[in-house]
Each structure stands twice: as structure tokens, then as C-alpha cells.
Structure 1
């Protein structure tokens, strides 16, 4: 399955206790009603891009569970259930596993203990994957996923972000938007893993915008990052701007809010 062409998505409505989730951002507490509205608009945007969207109800057991991308890595050949690195998120995978198993994937695999893996650390680039080694995804989890991907016919390379205090997940800092193009934080752009790609470099004042998502003909982009938006337009991409202020407060971005396949 091409990284930029999707027909379906799974999302989960943020719960009323959304503000109790994990965050390293210092932007204040999110406004739940506004987060709910922003999430609904996000779902509408996925539909506008041609996706059939399965909307799961809020799960108050897990305040972070609206960030469904962390629960699985999806390919055409298999769905790989993850094992989140934060203890408070441990039950989120089982809570969504039935939907993933019902998604029509030829097989369903799982990351096992002692491996930890968050889907937000995994960036698909065609038949290649960048695997983020982070404070949430450990060496064992990344190694397990790499072995699964190799068996499925993919290649992979590891990007170690453990020393970067300003980044939670790999996909906070990079996004693949098709056409051999990566959106990437300026301070990561010279990493050898990213050589050979066309790069759109994101300056520190627009860091949050780097977590954008190519969905069929559009690139979903957080509103408020004019330099990035202009660069996308200059390169003939079609940005679709979405207000994400309340999710930014909780270390969440556009990719985090859906499992796309």
C-alpha cells in the first residue's frame, strides 16, 4: 500500500478527561470542548480526502487514547500491534485491537515484552521505514518491528532521537508526504538517513507544523505555520489547514489522531 493513498481510518473521540493525559508541553491545559470540535473537523477532513472513517467512542480509562496511531503500525501485508512505552497507556492497544483485527489485514502481529514501541515513532516512506529509537520506543521494540518488516519485504533504518530533549516521537520531527519528499526539522535534516530525499526544512519557530500528513491528494497541516504552508504550495502540494491548538498542548499532532490504511 502506498504511504500516501488510503481508503479507511480509525479514530477515537477524546474523552472528557483528555487533559489528564501525558504531556511535556508547557502550553496550559486543553479546552475539552474546543478539542472535541477540532477532532470533529479532523474527521471531516479525512472524509473530504475520500476516507471511510470509523469513529470509536471516548475511552475514559485512558486519557491519551485519542492518539490511536501509537497503538499499531499498519502495512498492506500486516498490522503490527505495538506496546506503548508509557505505563499509563498499556491498555490502549487491547482497547482498539478488535477494530484493527477487523480491518482486513492478512495477518496481525504484536510487539512483545520487553520491547516497547509507539506508532508515533514509525515513519513509512514507500517500501522503507524510519524507526525512531526514543524514550517511548526502546531498542528491543524497534528490533522486533524491524524483523517483522524485513520478513514482509520492507527495509528499515533506525533514527536515534533519545538525546533530543525537544522531541517526543520521531514523527514530531519528520513526515513523508510523497514525491520523494520529507518534511523535517532543520536540526535533523542533515542526518545521513535522510540523504537522497527532497527536504522541506522546518525552522524551530514552526516545529509543530512538521507533523503533517499526506492523505491522498492533500497534505493535512496544522494551522498557523505560514512558512511551511507556503513551501508546500510552492512545491505543488495541496495543504489542508486544520486548527490543532488543543492537541498541541498534549504533545499530539495530526498523524497521532488516526490509523490510516
Structure 2
């Protein structure tokens, strides 16, 4: 299976204007006193990318967008399935320059591009799929029209679409992510109803709600989620922990730093 990782290195100016974080990251996010270390963030990003490279993923590094606080969070820009890419436009996290760069790269890779309707807001981190099911978060980033747009597109591709009402989470992948075996791991405090998932596993700590599947038996978690790492290892998964603490200061998670492209699911 061909696997590509679209990613963008953090810009050195990230963290230079902390008073802008609440506006860029959401009305309920208050990070005015964050002390962000750009040099450390770059080292963390390099370690993150190295994990995927060693696992056989092709790394596609996107051009930078200087001085954009969220520019390294490329997951915000689009959602892909097989050869179709839905360009996203979150209600809070959205940058036209970032979107244009991602769109150009996806077109170069042969993806057919779909655009949401004008009044539809869809956060890239609100949409995830596995085993024929698409989950779409309904919260700060994705509105009702956005959920409807996701449902129309993916049901036409013979996928089951399940809306997930969020409670305080900025986007779905901060609240819950899918494990390779089809179960969902997440933070029940950020979900209005965990029964929307077929199988739900509470994460021992908040950062453990965000997991990336490397392969059918391998996952990547944040180094700040040691309890979750131990839990997943006990369930038979190979677990790699990566320190992303600088990005977590900006409300990012382990999925935010890349867009994972697979030629089949």
C-alpha cells in the first residue's frame, strides 16, 4: 500500500505573537502566556517525520507560509479518501494560502478536488474514516451545513457517515481517534455521547485521545500520553511515542502535523 505523509516544518516565527492564539485557535482557547520554543519545535517535528519515514512512508514537505501561527497544522486543509480530496474551511482555523498550497499538491498527486458549499464550514481535524465509516465532529470548526456536505460526498462513495457532537473540543481528533482494529479511543469529557462509536475505549489522559495509525498493528501517540501508550501496548499494538509538547501548547495534537494519504483503506 502506497503511503504518503504531507507535512510542513514549523516556521521560526511561530510563537512570536501569543496574544493572537485565542483568535486563531478558537474563542474558548486562552493561551496568552504560552512560552513557545521554535528551535525545540523544529526538533520535535523532525522526530515526528522520522517515525513515518522509518515506517516506509514517502514524505512530502509542503512549502512554508511564514508568520502563520497554524501553518504546520496541515491536517486543517483537506480530507482525502482514495483519489478524492475534500477541501475544508474551518470556522476558526483556516488560511487561504495554506489551502491553496495543499490543493496544488493534491492535484499534482492526481486527486479529484471537491469543494464545500459557501455556507458549509468543515474542519479538517473533524473528519476521519476507517473500515467503511466516516466520523465527522460537530463543534467549533464544523457547522451543520458542513456535516451535511461531508455526508453527501462520502455516502455517494458508499461510506457510512456518523456525526459526532462535541463538548468543548476544538476538533474531533482532539476528542477521539480511530485505532487500526476499528475501535475508538477518546476523552469522554469532550464528547456528548460516546455511543455514536461502535466500540469506545476511554484514554487514560487527554492527550491519549489522539492517535495515528502507522500500520494495522502500529500506532503513534504523544509522549505526554504514557498511560495510553501502556494501554495500547497491552492490547497488542506496537506503540511509538513522540514528544510534541511545543505543538500541544498551540492546541495541536499528534494528528495535526500531517495529512496521511493512503491509496486504499
Compute the TM-score of the two structures, normalised by the length of structure 2: 0.87
Kindly indicate whether residue 134 of structure 2 is the aligned counterpart of residue 133 of structure 1.
no
Extract unaligned runs of 5+ from structure 2.
Answer: none
Equivalent position SS for 1:129: strand
Kindly indicate whether residue 242 of structure 2 is the aligned counterpart of residue 242 of structure 1.
yes
1:77–1:152 Cα contact (<8 Å) kept:
no
Kindly indicate whether residue 195 of structure 2 is the aligned counterpart of residue 192 of structure 1.
yes
Q: Name the stretch that deviates more: 226-235 or 15-24.
A: 15-24
Structure 2 CA distance for partners of 1:189 and 1:168, relative to 1, 3 Å:
closer
Match of 1:208 in 2: 207
Extract unaligned runs of 5+ from structure 1.
Answer: none
How far apart, CA to CA, are the structure 2 residues paired with 1:189 and 1:231? Answer: 24
Structure 2 CA distance for partners of 1:6 and 1:232, relative to 1, 3 Å:
farther
Equivalent position SS for 1:113: coil
**Correspondences of 1:36-115 after superposition (within 5 Å):** 36-60=42-66, 62-86=68-92, 89-105=95-111, 107-115=112-120
2:212–2:220 Cα contact (<8 Å) kept:
yes
How far apart, CA to CA, are the structure 1 residues paired with 2:11 and 2:87? Answer: 22
How far apart, CA to CA, are the structure 1 residues paired with 2:178 and 2:38? Answer: 30
**Correspondences of 1:164-203 after superposition (within 5 Å):** 164-165=167-168, 167-187=169-189, 188=191, 191-194=194-197, 196-197=198-199, 199-203=200-204
Match of 2:8 in 1: 12
How far apart, CA to CA, are the structure 2 residues paired with 1:79 and 1:72? Answer: 6
Structure 1 residue 218: deviation in Å? 1.9
Structure 1 residue 186: deviation in Å? 3.2
> How much is the aligned-residue C-alpha RMSD, in angstroms?
1.9
Match of 2:37 in 1: 31
1:62–1:92 Cα contact (<8 Å) kept:
no
1:82-101 per-residue CA deviation (whole Å, 9 max, x = no partner) reads: 11222762432113211011
Structure 1 residue 122: deviation in Å? 0.9
2:163 to 155, 158, 162: 158
How far apart, CA to CA, are the structure 1 residues paired with 2:243 and 2:2? Answer: 22
Match of 2:126 in 1: 121
2:150 to 129, 137, 145: 145
Equivalent position SS for 1:224: coil
Q: Which has the higher contact order (CA 8 A, sep 6+)?
A: 1
Compute the TM-score of the two structures, normalised by the length of structure 1: 0.89
What number of residue pairs does the alignment pair up?
Answer: 249
2:76–2:93 Cα contact (<8 Å) kept:
no
Structure 1 residue 9: deviation in Å? 1.1
